[in-house]
Amino acid sequence: MNQPLCNNFIYIIILLLTKTEYIYFNIKEKRSQILQSLEEKKQEKASLLKEIERYRECDPEVLESVRKQTGEAKDAANRWTGNN
């Protein structure tokens, strides 16, 4: 090979390796950012689920279920004691 062509070839290989390395580190950094964001979202989800659980007793479906259970318990107590 002649010298200028060889030097150009080496330069292109070095350039490709540098670009590849740059892309790899960008991908690695982006992945780290995404994983950190995912962890933050998981913590936020857990916090929100705890908050929802605190307000669960105010849910209309839960309140209706409690009313129904209370009525059934009252009916059962009246049957048991003979108070109709």
Token couple for 5? 């062509």
Q: pLDDT of 12-65, one tens digit each? A: 888 888 888 888 888 888 888 999 999 999 999 999 999 888 887 777 888 888
| Residue 78 belongs to a domain | no
pTM: 0.49
Q: How many CA atoms lie within 13 A of 16 on its CB side?
A: 6
On whether residue 39 sits in a domain, the answer given is: yes
User: How many domains would you assign to the chain?
Assistant: 1
Determine the structural domain holding residue 20 and report its residue range: 3-69
For the chain, give the longest Cα–Cα distance.
112
Q: Is residue 42 part of a domain?
A: yes
For residues 56 and 62, the answer to whether their CB atoms sit within 8 Å is yes
- Within a domain: 81: no
Q: Which two tokens stand for residue 36?
A: 């950190």
Would residue 76 count as lying in a domain?
no
- Is 22 inside a domain boundary? yes
Whether 75 maps to a domain, the answer reads: no
CA distance 61 to 69: 12
